[in-house]
């Protein structure tokens, strides 16, 4: 696992995942904002209205039907190339912060979400950021991570929810 932790935010929680990536911030920025590159690591297809990341732009998140029949909507909140990107993702808010670090990038992802989803999403973001870094998650990695995060988070944040009942499986493996 990378450096992942959770903190309380009012009625919810914020999962914070930090990862060092070998590529410079400009390259990582492209992976965060280019639709084709997003498909290689983000859990769903990301369609930005008008094709341009700009504050106020509408976003649609279409999950693969073989994984889950779900489409979320959101709005771009912050675009500060190549340092910060934030948007809503359904009822959650995602923030990506990029900074130079040791010839690569320090990526900080903050996911503001219901406290009961903290372990599920922390495990999911670990898998996604593995793919972003060019590493395929090991079989069963999500489940092992979810169990570890659940054990760590439940004392403060209560029972942790797994995948939704309509989840069909992970097409990315």
Q: Which residues pair with 46 in a beta bridge?
A: 61
Peptide bond before 3: cis, by omega within 30 degrees of 0?
A: no
What pLDDT does residue 2 have? 59
What pLDDT does residue 172 have? 41
- pLDDT, tens digit only, all 173 positions of the chain: 458 999 999 889 999 999 999 999 999 999 999 999 999 999 999 999 999 999 999 999 999 999 899 999 999 999 999 999 999 999 999 999 999 999 999 999 999 999 999 999 999 999 999 999 999 988 889 999 999 999 999 999 999 999 887 777 654 43
Q: Name the pTM for this structure.
A: 0.93
**Domains delineated in the chain:** 3-116 (3.30.530.20)
- What is the distance between the alpha carbons of residues 25 and 21, in angstroms, rounded to a whole number? 9
- What is the distance between the alpha carbons of residues 122 and 45, in angstroms, rounded to a whole number? 20
Residues 6+ apart with CB under 8 A from 134: none
The DSSP symbol for 34 reads -
């Amino acid at each position: 696992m990378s450096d992942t932790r959770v903190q309380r935010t009012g009625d919810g929680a914020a999962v914070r995942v930090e990862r060092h990536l070998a590529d410079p911030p400009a390259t990582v920025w492209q992976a965060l904002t280019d639709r084709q590159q997003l498909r290689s690591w983000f859990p769903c297809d990301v369609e930005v209205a008008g094709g341009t990341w700009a504050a106020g732009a509408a976003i649609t998140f279409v999950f693969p039907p073989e994984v889950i029949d779900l489409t979320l909507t959101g709005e771009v909140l912050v675009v500060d190339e190549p340092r910060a990107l934030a948007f809503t993702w359904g009822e959650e808010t995602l923030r990506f912060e990029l900074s130079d670090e040791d010839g690569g990038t320090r990526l900080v992802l903050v996911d503001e979400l219901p406290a009961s989803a903290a372990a599920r999403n922390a495990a999911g973001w670990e898998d996604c950021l593995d793919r972003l870094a060019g590493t395929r998650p090991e079989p069963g990695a999500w489940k092992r991570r979810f169990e570890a995060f659940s054990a760590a988070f439940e004392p403060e944040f209560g029972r942790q929810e797994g995948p939704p009942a309509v989840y069909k499986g992970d097409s990315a493996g």
